[in-house]
Structure 1
Amino acid sequence: MTPDPAPARPPSSPADRYRYGLRIGVTTVAGTLLLTMSMLRNVRSYHPVWSQAVAWAVLAGVVLIGVAQVARHRPWGRSRPVAIGAVLTASGLSMAGLPAGAATTAADWSTGVVGWVGLVVLFDRPLAVFVGFLCVHEAMVLVDVLVTRSGEVDTLLNALSGAIGTLGYPLAGAIAATALAGAARTVERSWRESELLRTREVIAARLHSGRRHRFATLDQGVLPLLRALRDGTAEPTDAQVRRACSIEAARLRRLFAESEDADNPLLHIVRHCVDVAERRHVVVELQVSGQWPDPPDEVRRVLTDGLLIVVSTAVSWARVTLVGATGQLTLGAVGDGVEIPAAESTVTKDVVVDTISEGRLTWVQARWTMP
């Protein structure tokens, strides 16, 4: 038994699902006891009979409301005091209609039911609240015994011994629910800790994979170029070496941009590539339109490979267009840079790349069909 949850929502965590199952069990017990009560077997002894019928109807109504609350995953909320008042009123009404000396006997059907119906209403309240409810109900029973049997010792002893069953079982159920709810919370904490550990492992694996990719990129391009410059096999005055350095610098900028947080990672990378050209005083025109989902890392690299070459080798100007429309993302670049010997079209990672060179102009267009 725990305090009222603030929002009403379907059970999601293991502890919530466990408490929800216990609540269903308590409601089922209360409903079963109402259907199997002994009122019908003793109906001729009640005066008046209507008081027992009304009391039964009130308790049944509370249980039905409890069933509806369970089905809608809602707590009792502000209706809880009204429901408890109705349960105690029904108990008093049933006692008032008992014949003299019938309290705590088989004819007193409500005494064994009220505790479970009260537990339906107070299931998610602290245990002390339910114990207080049971004490009030037991006090009502003792008062009824004193009034109808003049306080005979045997009668009082019978009432107290009967309370072990009529009140002890609901109390035992409430204690068990409290203990099991505590165990469920412990299980939930362990579950959340294990989920957090698995999440950290996945993040660590992805970070490691990203580092391996970055090191592989350095091994393929930057490091061989640096070694050649160090060994003297590549001369900084050579135009081709300078173009290679510019391309590798753009690839490094793309590598750094991939690890940065951005609302639009692809556009963020494109702007980094453009910045490389602008630092060389190349005039770059960037046009962006449309919307697109974030492409996977491999797709982004294929999309921007041609862009890297165009803006990194442009001599004086370049134009870059990024368009997302009709289920397709297109990244195009044209500039007065390095000449590619022949036109070609390639397909890599579901990206179609067209490259055309004419004179000192190079045009590259990469098209990716959005999922």
Structure 2
Amino acid sequence: MAESHAEGDHVHPTMRIALLCIAGVVQFGLCVRPLVEYEFQPRWVAEAAFTALALVTAVCGVWVVRRKPVPAAVVVVGTVVTLAASAGATRVLPAGGHFGPPDWSFGLVGWHLLLLLLDRVPVLLTAMTVHLTTSVGQFLLSGVPGRAEIGAAGIVAFGAASIQLAVVPISRMLHHRTRQATSAAAAQERLITRVMSAEQWEREQRTVFAGQLGVTLPLLADLADGVLDPRDDDTRRRCSLAATQLRRLFAENDEVPDPLVHEVTACVDEAERRGVEVSLAVSGAAVAVPPDVRRELTSPVVATLAAARTHARVSVLRTHEDVRVAVMADVGTDLVTTTSAQVVVDCDAYGEYIRMEARWRTRNS
């Protein structure tokens, strides 16, 4: 028998604790008196059956009180012992005692079977059928019962079986409701996680945009106030840099298969709008690059293309070891390079041309 029910099922452990208490109360509260008052032949069989059922309850309690499933071996042995004790106790009943006050084991055995087989319903029904069939068979073999005796036995058997078997649908209903509640709670938790992730992403985007606009807004204010001359080369370069940064920033939020190339292409498009002739070469398969690393990889492209005058060449190279983004342009001015812990930037000058390369080593290199 496989130990049943997935982790997180709290219904069966709770029900078993209740059944353990019921079995103990019924056995020691209701069954001791008839065991003492009536004559059983031989008595030691009835006492052995009582002791065996008490041991089944005690052994099951070792796991039940810790809310752990009863091992399959214990279930098998306990079921066999319970049915054998029931047959033995019924076999030594005094004449006319079947389904009456002397038959102390009939109603008790069902609670033991429920305790052992609550989560194994087909086996439980089979064991209950064996128990009931054995009791009825011994009742019929003890003598020819009258109509009144048959009616009384039927009422007792039906009453005990219906009460005990009602535990099964109740347990299944509670288990179903618990699973529904658990699923709803898990769905709500996933929704809360998604909402928190979305809010965090929105905060990060606001921070990025705020940082970018923090550079752009003073430039626009100086242009509006006449502090800066739009015809000045330095002003034009600053405007070009701000426009390229914003274009790359907008491209960062697009859902595309290859975000890095998409952002580089956005920078190239902005340079071409200014009349710069730009060639773009891409090699290697797409590599998953984190957004913050993409910002650092494209930063030299933004700065160089913003300063380019007539020609530029951009290349993106992806291998299993690293990702490289390089740009060469006729900038005619010095550019500031920034190297971080994630991205290394190299800068070389060839006359009026400057070549900048940003390199990021992949994690599995």
Q: TM-score range by the shorter chain?
A: 0.5 to 0.7
Is 2:317 the partner of 1:323?
A: yes
Q: How does 1:75-154 map to 2 (within 5 A)?
A: 112=110, 120-121=120-121, 149-150=144-145, 152-154=147-149
CA RMSD, 1 decimal:
4.3
State the Cα distance separating 1:196 from its structure 2 match.
1.5
State the Cα distance separating 1:282 from its structure 2 match.
2.5
State the Cα distance separating 1:363 from its structure 2 match.
0.6
State the Cα distance separating 1:267 from its structure 2 match.
1.5
- Closer, same or farther: CA 137–185 of 1 in aligned 2, 3 Å: farther
- Closer, same or farther: CA 119–240 of 1 in aligned 2, 3 Å: closer
Q: Which whole-Å CA distance do the structure 1 matches of 2:199 and 2:135 have between them?
A: 67
- Closer, same or farther: CA 139–169 of 1 in aligned 2, 3 Å: closer
State the Cα distance separating 1:243 from its structure 2 match.
1.6
User: Cα deviation per residue 1:159-198 (whole Å; 9 max; x = unaligned)?
Assistant: 4324444553242143134224314422442343244224
* Aligned residue type for 2:208: H
Is 2:82 the partner of 1:37?
A: yes
Tell whether the 8 Å contact from 2:12 to 2:118 is kept in structure 1 after alignment: no
**1:315 is paired with a residue of what secondary structure?**
coil
Tell whether the 8 Å contact from 2:118 to 2:168 is kept in structure 1 after alignment: no
State the Cα distance separating 1:323 from its structure 2 match.
1.1
Match of 2:360 in 1: 368
Match of 1:82 in 2: none
State the Cα distance separating 1:216 from its structure 2 match.
1.7
Work out which of the residue numbers 256, 274, 277 in structure 1 matches 2:250: 256
**1:347 is paired with a residue of what secondary structure?**
coil
User: Cα deviation per residue 1:233-261 (whole Å; 9 max; x = unaligned)?
Assistant: 21111122112211111100011011221
- Closer, same or farther: CA 142–227 of 1 in aligned 2, 3 Å: same
TM-score w.r.t. length of structure 1: 0.64
User: Cα deviation per residue 1:175-233 (whole Å; 9 max; x = unaligned)?
Assistant: 1342243144224423432442243123212212211220121112x112111111112
Q: Which whole-Å CA distance do the structure 1 matches of 2:12 and 2:259 have between them?
A: 43
Q: Which whole-Å CA distance do the structure 2 matches of 1:32 and 1:171 have between them?
A: 25
Q: Which whole-Å CA distance do the structure 2 matches of 1:280 and 1:164 have between them?
A: 93
* Aligned residue type for 1:35: V
Match of 1:182 in 2: 177
Q: Which whole-Å CA distance do the structure 1 matches of 2:352 and 2:287 have between them?
A: 34
Match of 1:351 in 2: 343
State the Cα distance separating 1:274 from its structure 2 match.
1.0
Is 2:270 the partner of 1:225?
A: no
Q: Which whole-Å CA distance do the structure 1 matches of 2:293 and 2:190 have between them?
A: 30
Q: Which whole-Å CA distance do the structure 1 matches of 2:119 and 2:171 have between them?
A: 12
**1:356 is paired with a residue of what secondary structure?**
strand
* Aligned residue type for 2:222: A
User: Cα deviation per residue 1:307-341 (whole Å; 9 max; x = unaligned)?
Assistant: 01222232222111111224211110111224217
* Higher alpha-carbon deviation: 197-206 or 301-310: 197-206
Structure 1 residues not aligned, in runs of 5+: 1-9, 47-100, 124-129
Q: Which whole-Å CA distance do the structure 1 matches of 2:345 and 2:239 have between them?
A: 23
Match of 1:200 in 2: 195
Match of 1:52 in 2: none
Q: Percent identity?
A: 24
- Closer, same or farther: CA 114–326 of 1 in aligned 2, 3 Å: closer
Tell whether the 8 Å contact from 1:18 to 1:181 is kept in structure 2 after alignment: no
Q: Which whole-Å CA distance do the structure 2 matches of 1:267 and 1:187 have between them?
A: 44
Tell whether the 8 Å contact from 1:288 to 1:322 is kept in structure 2 after alignment: yes
Q: Which whole-Å CA distance do the structure 1 matches of 2:187 and 2:320 have between them?
A: 42
Find the structure with the greater CA-based Rg: 2
User: Cα deviation per residue 1:16-41 (whole Å; 9 max; x = unaligned)?
Assistant: x4468689859969635423234378
